[in-house]
Structure 1
Amino acid sequence: MFVLCLSASPILFPASARHTATVIFVHGLGDTGRGWAGTVENWRRRQRLDEVKFILPHAPAIPITCNWGEKMPGWYDIHTLDGNAESLSVNEDEAGILVSQAYFHELIQKEIDAGIPPERIVLGGFSQGGAISIFSGLTAKVKLGGIVALSSYLLLSLKFADLVPKPEFNKDTPIFMAHGDSDPVVHPELGKKSYDLLKGLGYNATLKIYKDMEHSACPEELDDVEAFLRERLPALGNSDAKSEL
């Protein structure tokens, strides 16, 4: 049985003002939460997301088939990593995906238990982290404020519609998807195919393609993510968070 054994607690960036919202941002394969700490610090320096607490979790080191079975930080196993949809759809690690899904649902619930309304929580990530964010976000049994997926794709796409709980809490939740047009790891065609599938199922997804960007993030993209977060998690000032929703 697949068990998610976390070696470290997430990196936390407390809100610099009254805490009224939370962003959980998930790294990709082979990375750690520290890989996105600089981005969060840059957003914080701009003082536009002062009421937002950021959570950057660390994936456990697990054997990755496409890495010859060697262990590396990952949210689920990947058998083939050549960028195309067919390869990523074959032999998907459903057990690992579902265990990570449960972990992110737990992180969301902890924020709710701490007093943050689910509509003031955004789940997002890069590559594998973005993929698990789409999956975990759309299958959550609370309505989230938004979902961010950078250089990502839809997990378990062949059976996704059957895995979403009924009623669907996040049918209208805004999903910001972004992809580089030169991505050799997760081809932009896969991002577009995932976007089309989500739109076909009636989800509120948008997709932006960035010219000449590979499997990485660019300043324009990060500015767009910041703008999305500001739109979904506007500052409430001294008003009561619950009364504003």
Structure 2
Amino acid sequence: MTTAAAIVVPAATKHTATFIFLHGLGDTGAGWSSISENFRLRRKFDECTFIFPHAPRMPVDLNMGMRMPSWFNLYTLSEMDTREDESGMLSSVEKVHGIIQEQIEKGINSERIILGGFSQGGAVALLSGLTCKHKLGGIAALSTWLPLSKKIASMTQDANKETCIFQAHGEMDGVVKFKWGEDTKAILQEKLHQPVEWHSYPDLDHSADPQEIMDMERWMQKIIADQA
């Protein structure tokens, strides 16, 4: 995957930072590009290019083999760490690492690259960020879970062992269970010793709301301003 397979919103001023965000199952990059539009209207992160990649279409077992945009095959959402499509996950990770490398080759400091995602895209963002050889500015994980959790400790690169993770989850989530978010936070903090900024939303289901985006914005601002 290259940025050609993505919606790219160029920086409004000199490009010094990049935000890469991965959509959820069945969606496309267009489903999240409104984030950048909102920032542009309010003159936030003008120095940041926003990249919203599109997942390839593939049959998904969870949805009776129907073809749809998906970062990897999903078999079940009943348990967090059973029967995972490891090869599919790692294929998507490789593609995300390719986008990161493209940005670095364009002169962007890797510590001014933020990687994020929602649901299935958030799972890929976590896996991609933790296994990236380049030090990232941060990882945003919305309504998601940590894949390959039984082996992730051996896969994590030294470069990102202290990278801050913004994690947010709705307590009413009926798709990716809220407990999965809590379990992910516990693994990140207690097993991997990652710094996590955790936010939960009592009335939120499997979606994002303005408060969550505002919380993420404040977190992004700290990273981009600190690295200016």
Q: In structure 1, what is the equivalent of residue 57 of structure 2?
A: 61
Task: Kindly name which structure, 1 or 2, has the bigger radius of gyration based on alpha carbons.
Answer: 1
Are 2:112 and 1:120 equivalent residues in the alignment? yes
What does residue range 92-111 of structure 1 map to in structure 2 within 5 Å? 92-111=84-103
Are 2:141 and 1:149 equivalent residues in the alignment? yes
Q: What do the CA deviations read for 1:66-122 (whole angstroms, capped 9, x no partner)? A: 1111111000110013xx4x2x32110000000000000000000000000000000
Q: How far apart, CA to CA, are the structure 2 residues paired with 1:127 and 1:28?
A: 5
Q: How far apart, CA to CA, are the structure 2 residues paired with 1:211 and 1:43?
A: 26
Unpaired segments ≥5 residues, structure 1: 236-243
Q: What do the CA deviations read for 1:147-205 (whole angstroms, capped 9, x no partner)? A: 0000011010011112224xx10111110000000000011110000100110121111
2:39 equivalent among 32, 35, 43: 43
Q: How far apart, CA to CA, are the structure 1 residues paired with 2:175 and 2:101?
A: 32
1:234 is paired with a residue of what secondary structure?
Answer: helix
Superposed CA RMSD in Å reads 1.5
Report if the CA contact (8 A) 1:192-1:207 is conserved.
no
**Percentage of pairs with the same residue:** 46
1:169 is paired with a residue of what secondary structure?
Answer: helix
Q: How far apart, CA to CA, are the structure 1 residues paired with 2:225 and 2:56?
A: 33
Are 2:132 and 1:140 equivalent residues in the alignment? yes
Q: What do the CA deviations read for 1:115-156 (whole angstroms, capped 9, x no partner)? A: 000000000010011111011001100100000000011010
Q: How far apart, CA to CA, are the structure 2 residues paired with 1:173 and 1:194?
A: 15
Unpaired segments ≥5 residues, structure 2: none
- Once the two structures are overlaid, the 10-residue window that deviates more, 131-140 or 40-49, is 40-49
Number of equivalent positions: 226
Q: How far apart, CA to CA, are the structure 2 residues paired with 1:113 and 1:26?
A: 21
Could you tell me how far 1:50 is from its partner in structure 2? 0.5
Q: In structure 2, what is the equivalent of residue 215 of structure 1?
A: 206
1:227 is paired with a residue of what secondary structure?
Answer: helix
1:203 equivalent among 187, 191, 194: 194
TM value normalised by structure 1: 0.89
Report if the CA contact (8 A) 1:195-1:206 is conserved.
no
1:149 is paired with a residue of what secondary structure?
Answer: strand
